[in-house]
Amino acid sequence: MAPKRKPIDDVLLGASGMLFAGLSLWALLGGVGEAAPPLLPEPNAAGRYQHAAIANPETATEIWAAPTAAGGDEWLFDVFTPPVIYYDVVNHAFSVTPPDTVAGDASGLENAFGIELVEVKRTPYRIQLVGYVGSEGDYIVTFEDLETGETFLARPGRTIEEHSVALRSFAVDKTRDESGGGTAVQDTRATAVIHDLRQNHDVTLVQKVRFMNVAALAVFRVTGELARHVEGRQGGTVATAEATYIIGMVSFDPPTVEVTREATVERGIEVRRLEPAPAIIAPTAVPPGFMFPAASSEQNPFGEP
Inside any domain, residue 80: no
Is 141 a domain residue? yes
Q: Examine the domain organization and report whether 201 and 221 are in the same domain.
A: no
Give the model's pLDDT for residue 106.
42
Give the domain extent around 135.
127-176+185-206
pLDDT at 193 (0 to 100): 97
Say how many domains are in the chain. Answer: 2
The pLDDT score that the predictor gives to residue 217 is 92
Q: Quick check: is 147 in a domain?
A: yes
Indicate whether 193 and 242 sit together in one domain.
Answer: no
The answer as to whether 266 is a domain residue is yes
Which carries the bigger pLDDT value, residue 188 or residue 104? Answer: 188
Residue closest to 159 by CA, chosen among 150, 148, 168? 168
Question: pLDDT tens, 251-279?
Answer: 988 999 999 999 887 788 889 999 998 76
Classify residue 40: in a domain, yes or no: no
Q: Could you tell me if residue 11 is inside a domain?
A: no
Tens of pLDDT, residue by residue over 141-169, are: 999 999 999 999 999 999 999 999 999 99
Q: pLDDT tens-digit profile of 7-57?
A: 666 666 677 777 777 777 766 665 555 556 666 666 666 666 667 777 787
Give the model confidence (pLDDT) of 228-237 as tens digits: 889 999 999 9
Same domain as 200, residue 136: yes
Q: Is residue 287 part of a domain?
A: no
What does the longest C-alpha to C-alpha distance in the chain come to?
A: 148
- Segment 179-200 mean pLDDT: 84
pTM for the structure as a whole: 0.47
What per-residue confidence (pLDDT) applies to 104? 39
Q: Are residues 138 and 164 in the same domain?
A: yes
Q: Whole-number mean pLDDT of the chain?
A: 78
Q: DSSP per residue over the chain, as a string? A: -PPPPPHHHHHHHHHHHHHHHHHHHHHHTT-TTPPPPPPPPPB-TTS-BPPPP-PPPP----PPPPP--SSSTT----TTS----EEETTTTEEESS-TTS-TTSTTSGGG--SEEEEEEE--B-SEEEEEEEEETTEEEEEEEETTTTEEEEE-TT-EEGGGTEEEEEEEEEEEEE-TTTS--EEEEEEEEEEEETTTTEEEEEETTS--B-SS-EEEEEETT-TT-EEEE-TT-EEE-SS-EEEEEEEETTTTEEEEEEPP-SS---EEEEE-PPPP--PPPP--TT--PPP-SGGG-TT---
